[in-house]
Amino acid sequence: MTARNAPAPETVVLDPTAERKPAQRQLLERPGSLDGATIGLLDISKARGDVFLDRLEEQLVARGLRVERFRKPTFTKPAPIDLRHEISTKCDVVIEALAD
């Protein structure tokens, strides 16, 4: 393995808490219902992801839900922080299309 491909070293830290919660971050609680929710549809810029999301949008709108569309500049990199911030402030849930 070349140095360029070597994985970044992991950092081990000691837990400063009373260790009452699992060390791994937990997923947010799933919403019980989508009623009244704003749904973000995130296109990661992979080919034909938009086809899938267009169809999802049609179905969600038909159910009376509000939809916001977002698009990552490139599927090769994590979403820019501004985009993540925008999604988290505008939406209650987000659906990400992993198309190919």
**Residues in the site for another protein, rule: CB under 8 A?**
7-20, 23, 25
Q: Which is nearer to another protein, 47 or 81 (CB)?
A: 81
Q: How far is CA 6 from CA 9, 10, 12, 76, 79, in A?
A: 9, 12, 18, 19, 23
CB 45 within 8 A of CB 73: yes
Q: Which is nearer to another protein, 8 or 47 (CB)?
A: 8
Minimum CB–partner distance for residue 62 and another protein (Å): 37
Minimum CB–partner distance for residue 22 and another protein (Å): 10
Q: Which is nearer to another protein, 28 or 62 (CB)?
A: 28
Minimum CB–partner distance for residue 15 and another protein (Å): 4
The CA-based angle 41-84-62, given to 5 degrees, is 20
Contacts of residue 100, Cβ cutoff 8 Å, sequence gap at least 6: 46, 47, 48
Q: Which is nearer to another protein, 52 or 75 (CB)?
A: 75
DSSP letter for 53, please: H
Minimum CB–partner distance for residue 74 and another protein (Å): 17
